[in-house]
Amino acid sequence: MGEPRGFLNHQRVPPKKEAPAARVQHFREFIQPYSADELARQGSRCMDCGVAFCHRGCPLGNIIPEWNHLASEKEFRSAAESLLRTNNFPEFTGRVCPAPCETACVLGINSQPVAIEHIEMTLAELAFEKGWMKPNPPLKRTGKTVAVVGSGPAGLAAAQQLNRTGHRVVVFERSAKPGGLLRYGIPDFKLEKSVVERRVALLEQEGIEFLCNINLGEHITLEQLQVEFDAVLLACGAGQARELKIPGNALAGVHLAMTYLSQSNRTQNQEKVSKQECISAKDKDVIVIGGGDTGSDCVGTALRQGARSVVQFEILPQPPDLGAHPQRSQRPAHSPWPEWPAILRTSSSHEEGGERHWSLESLGIEGDANGQVNSLRTRTVMWSADAQGKSTLAPVADSERTWPCQLVLVACGFAGAEPSATLRDVGVQFDERGNIRADSTDYRTDAAKIFAAGDMRRGQSLVVWAIAEGRKAAQAIDAFLS
């Protein structure tokens, strides 16, 4: 610990952001990295705890106290190297991870936690800026080949780890460009696609091959991959969206959130979008159904497209508003420190505008004579617990309301991996939650030579969990090939 009283001498400083009124005029990133001096000060707040609970909070097991100490000493290159030992892509997690490490920070017991996520992002950007982030191809090849299906964070992490051990890796992606959720799911204002492209370029320089516009089951089958490769990793994500099963859900103007966000990303990155499939919020009253991160991304995107109004609904009750970093004594009893707390979270998109409403159940969507959505009906619900402690809801009398809208975006989560005949043909099985059934130790599916990782195996989750899954699956595949 370079500065023993650093956590007392320095307060947590949030990253500088462009003002909401200015940033909704564009889709670029608006958060600035720390300066070198501020990076050192923020790193010095880390107490180098004897039991570092931040390790427990981070799915990757990042060596957080080590690189915080190195940053506090302005040994930025060594700090970045320490960070990269456990995290393949800190430039991604430093932007879009909800930072469970920070909610587990010991300093957060009675103060604001160390700004771990933004320190991580700043170190990653320094590494690229200074040229420390270089391709690292293997010294020799093993002669073994691995096909990775899906180029999201799990697939990319697994590909890099397998390539480092000397195996030849080919990544198959059904979209026009690599990146998966990073490219087509997360809006540019949270993760500019140039950040994804520079990482993909590094992976290509390390020897990884990317084949895009290849759809599994249409252009190639799993049986072919089993024959042509020594191992196959399925990392296609949890793409089966949970639909809103209410009257009127098929009206024009009602869209799944990922369809909307993916199209917006394609438009921003000069990929062709036909006039027939174009979805725009411009001059419309927009309703977003679902209160999670995907719904928040829809809010930010709709505001940037010029929506007249944006309203976000959540069927669950509003969690307690304890601020961004509640102290241990403020945590809800069912999610105490160092667990992830069930509290109200306000994203950058919520800072920019729109309304949020909780405990609202959507009853039906109505349209005009042309089949175009023009309103949505809701009612308020009351949540309670039964004798077994299970949450139940009941409608509140006389609480129905009709909301005008011309665009409805459904962000109700995901129901597992997309079903595919080519998966069933080779014996890949699904579990009761709709995910690929694969062992949590060796990541093997029921089919020969086929492994699974990321959201496709564990269900909808975080980018940091996807990277961790990809790393562990790569280790299992390497053991299998050896």
Residue reference for tokens 């564009």: 26
> What is the DSSP annotation of 231-287?
EEEE------BPP--STTTTSBTEEEHHHHHHHHHHHHTT----TTT----TT-EEE
**DSSP 8-state class, residue 275:** T
292-339 pLDDT, tens per residue?
999 999 999 999 999 999 999 999 999 999 988 999 989 999 899 999
Strand residue runs (E) in 122-250 = 145-149, 168-172, 209-211, 231-234
Domains by residue range for the chain, with CATH: 6-129 (1.10.1060.10), 145-239+415-481 (3.50.50.60), 254-410 (3.50.50.60)
Residue 25 has pLDDT above 70, yes or no: yes
113-166 pLDDT, tens per residue?
999 999 999 999 999 999 999 999 999 999 999 999 999 999 999 999 999 999
| Amino acid, single-letter form, for residue 357 | H
CA–CA dist 125, 127 (Å, integer): 5
CA–CA dist 301, 280 (Å, integer): 10
Look at residue 381 and give its three-state secondary structure: strand
> For strand 391-395 and strand 373-385, is the pairing parallel, antiparallel, or unpaired?
antiparallel
31-54 pLDDT, tens per residue?
999 999 999 999 999 999 999 999
What pLDDT shows up at residue 1? 67
Nearest to 346 by CA among 335, 354, 336, 338: 354
Q: What percent of the chain has pLDDT over 70?
A: 100
Strand residue runs (E) in 230-308 = 231-234, 254-256, 285-289
Report residue 303 as tokens. Answer: 């505001």
Mean of pLDDT values over 209-226: 95
What pLDDT shows up at residue 74? 97
- Cβ pair 343, 320 in contact under 8 A: yes
Residue 277 has pLDDT above 90, yes or no: no
CA–CA dist 162, 245 (Å, integer): 42
